[in-house]
Chain A
């Protein structure tokens, strides 16, 4: 693959602009994607933070869900932060009954696990595979990973052991929002994953 991969950001709802900026800073060509046809031109996909129930609903209505599942199943690298982590989970807890996910990562994710907005917090998080010290983790009504399957590698935990970042093959997910911090190391890791996959 060329040195500059094209990475889409799922632009149905959420903090799309921040991910586009972080991906650009990390050396990718970043483009918003909302329609099935737009998936053809991308080498990897970021699923942003946002409201996962809204994103799920819009993905179904506008015919994005199945094409996304097919691309992810076929090995396209994907990274999800917060709501994006929920979208990449094979199974979720505390979601809506009709809530769909793209899936791909063998894990169970609990939605809004840390509580409401008043419990939202920042904490330094050490991530396996990312050097240069901990990243600033911004957790906003964040999900956590309740359990992981055998193929799923845990990349970060909070002090109490809560799993907040995982990787499974070409798929990456964090409970927190690196796109809000100006620190692009998580996005650099993902851009590298996309380059390697190509």
Chain B
């Protein structure tokens, strides 16, 4: 029906608002690691808000060793063609050419990830240079703000990927949230030295102190294996959850994936979490993080 006078001037892509806004749309959702089109379809069927395309899930990277790199473009294409939800993919830390390739492939988000073997032990990629938005891991507020200063449009806790053990994700989420709350108790004069101590830009520190939250979305990642794990991270302040090895290293991936999606929406309703936790079969076996040698702790990668 009818006519309208409407107009649009100069459409602009790749703005900070479009990049950060994309992550806002994922909130309350679960992003699942997948290594092929078939797994991507299972994830989408289960209600994932996005999938993370990678060559091996972190548990297999741990087992196999060697250098972990960006995935094969054919594999990423296969996943993009298999599902209609957003597709993310990982680049190595500081490997901006892998990131350029991922952008050229049309992925919706790039994870500059400590799960892959770092390519640069000093610098992360300059994420402002890309149209595709980036998510990065962090273990504390200073690290999160350094990544945001480099252009990250979304932050996730690092946790300890591929362990099926949520303890490190809890540690990092609590640390980030505690750091934020602490900033809220400082007066304006004290924010300068807070920025120095956090090793983060003053402007971002001031912004976080005012907002009481990060200026970008904060998800949890690294060790979530059960619906209760996902709900725990949500109750601790995560705005959504990445699940890596926890789904496709378990006995019944489709059921477990759907259960984690439901538990993430009703994270504060123990009755729902109890219901969805029934009959899921075996969870991934998991690794005790305190027996992991320092060199095998992915969370120590990135700085």
What residues of chain A have their CB less than 8 Å away from a CB belonging to chain B?
11-18, 34, 49-51, 53-54, 57-58, 61-62, 82-83, 94-96, 111-112, 116-128, 134, 137-141, 148-159, 164-165, 177, 180-181
With A13-B49, A15-B27, A177-B21 given, is the CB distance from A118 to B13 under 8 Å?
A: yes
What number of B residues sit within 8 Å (CB to CB) of A?
Answer: 45
How far, in whole Å, are A4 and B96 apart by their CA atoms in the complex?
A: 51
Say whether B7 faces chain A, with CB atoms less than 8 Å apart: yes
How far, in whole Å, are A12 and B266 apart by their CA atoms in the complex?
A: 8
B9 and A51 contacting across the interface, CB-CB below 8 Å: no
Q: Which residues of A contact B50 (CB under 8 A)?
A: 51
With A117-B133, A118-B131 given, is the CB distance from A154 to B29 under 8 Å?
A: no
A156 and B6 contacting across the interface, CB-CB below 8 Å: yes
How far, in whole Å, are A124 and B84 apart by their CA atoms in the complex?
A: 27
Distance between B100 CB and nearest chain A CB, rounded to angstroms: 12
A58 and B24 contacting across the interface, CB-CB below 8 Å: no
A16, A83, A120 pick with most chain B CB within 10 angstroms: A120
Say whether B18 faces chain A, with CB atoms less than 8 Å apart: yes
How far, in whole Å, are A177 and B27 apart by their CA atoms in the complex?
A: 15
Question: Which 4 pairs across A and B sit closest by C-beta, in order of nearness?
Answer: A117-B108, A123-B8, A51-B49, A158-B8
Residue among A34, A82, A125, A164 making CB contact with B265, cutoff 8 Å? A34
B25 and A14 contacting across the interface, CB-CB below 8 Å: yes
Residues of chain B from 1 to 50 with CB closer than 8 A to chain A in the complex: 1-15, 17-18, 21-22, 24-29, 44, 47-50
How far, in whole Å, are A10 and B21 apart by their CA atoms in the complex?
A: 18
13 contacts between A and B (CB under 8 A): A12-B28, A58-B265, A61-B262, A83-B25, A116-B106, A118-B14, A122-B12, A128-B5, A140-B18, A141-B25, A153-B2, A158-B6, A181-B17
Q: Which residues of A contact B4 (CB under 8 A)?
A: 128, 154-157
Say whether B132 faces chain A, with CB atoms less than 8 Å apart: yes
What residues of chain B have their CB less than 8 Å away from a CB belonging to chain A?
1-15, 17-18, 21-22, 24-29, 44, 47-50, 84-86, 103, 106-109, 131-133, 261-262, 265-266
B9 and A119 contacting across the interface, CB-CB below 8 Å: no
B18 and A121 contacting across the interface, CB-CB below 8 Å: yes
Q: Which residues of B contact A111 (CB under 8 A)?
A: 84
Distance between B269 CB and nearest chain A CB, rounded to angstroms: 9
Residue among B8, B17, B18 making CB contact with A124, cutoff 8 Å? B8
Give the tally of cross-chain contacts (CB within 8 A): 165
Closest residue on chain B to residue A94 by CB atoms = B84
Residue among B25, B109, B265 making CB contact with A12, cutoff 8 Å? B265
Residue among A62, A118, A121, A151 making CB contact with B11, cutoff 8 Å? A121
Distance between B8 CB and nearest chain A CB, rounded to angstroms: 4
A16 and B6 contacting across the interface, CB-CB below 8 Å: no
With A53-B47, A58-B265, A111-B84 given, is the CB distance from A124 to B7 under 8 Å?
A: yes
Residue among A51, A149, A157 making CB contact with B85, cutoff 8 Å? A51
Q: Which residues of B contact A15 (CB under 8 A)?
A: 21, 24-25, 27
Closest residue on chain B to residue A13 by CB atoms = B28
With A16-B28, A50-B27, A51-B85 given, is the CB distance from A126 to B108 under 8 Å?
A: no
How far, in whole Å, are A33 and B105 apart by their CA atoms in the complex?
A: 38
B6 and A123 contacting across the interface, CB-CB below 8 Å: no
Distance between A154 CB and nearest chain B CB, rounded to angstroms: 5
Q: Which residues of A contact B84 (CB under 8 A)?
A: 53, 94-96, 111-112
Distance between A146 CB and nearest chain B CB, rounded to angstroms: 14
Q: Which residues of B contact A57 (CB under 8 A)?
A: 47, 261
B44 and A58 contacting across the interface, CB-CB below 8 Å: no
How far, in whole Å, are A117 and B107 apart by their CA atoms in the complex?
A: 8
Q: Which residues of A contact B24 (CB under 8 A)?
A: 15, 18, 49, 180
Residue among A94, A112, A121 making CB contact with B12, cutoff 8 Å? A121
B1 and A148 contacting across the interface, CB-CB below 8 Å: yes
How far, in whole Å, are A38 and B250 apart by their CA atoms in the complex?
A: 35
How far, in whole Å, are A123 and B11 apart by their CA atoms in the complex?
A: 5
Residue among B2, B13, B26, B27 making CB contact with A120, cutoff 8 Å? B13
Q: Which residues of A contact B48 (CB under 8 A)?
A: 54
Q: Which residues of B contact A149 (CB under 8 A)?
A: 1
Known: A122-B18, A149-B1, A153-B1. 17 other contacts (CB 8 A): A34-B266, A51-B85, A54-B47, A57-B261, A62-B266, A116-B108, A117-B109, A122-B12, A123-B9, A128-B6, A139-B18, A140-B22, A154-B1, A159-B7, A159-B9, A165-B6, A180-B21
How far, in whole Å, are A125 and B106 apart by their CA atoms in the complex?
A: 26
Q: Which residues of A contact B265 (CB under 8 A)?
A: 12-13, 34, 58, 62
